[in-house]
Amino acid sequence: MTREEVEAYLKEHIPLSAAMAIKIVAAGPDGVSIEVPLGPNLNHRATAFGGSVAALAILAGWTLVHLRLKEEGLVTRTVVQSSSVDYDAPIHGTFTAVTEPVEPLKWEKFVRAITRHGKGRIGIAANVVAEGGAAARYTGAYVAIQGRKGAGEG
> Taking the complex as a whole, how short is the minimal distance between the CB of residue 99 and a copy of itself, in angstroms?
15
Please identify, using beta-carbon distances, which residue of 52 and 146 lies nearer to a copy of itself. 52
1 is a contact residue toward a copy of itself (CB under 8 A): no
- Closer residue to a copy of itself, CB minimum distance, 15 or 108: 15
Quick check: 52 binds a copy of itself (CB under 8 A)? Answer: yes
Applying the rule CB under 8 A, the residues between 6 and 45 that interact with a copy of itself are 9, 13-17, 19-20, 39-45
**Cα maximum dimension of the chain:** 49
Binding site for a copy of itself (CB under 8 A): 9, 13-17, 19-20, 39-45, 47, 49-52, 54-56, 58-59, 62, 77, 79-87, 90, 153-154
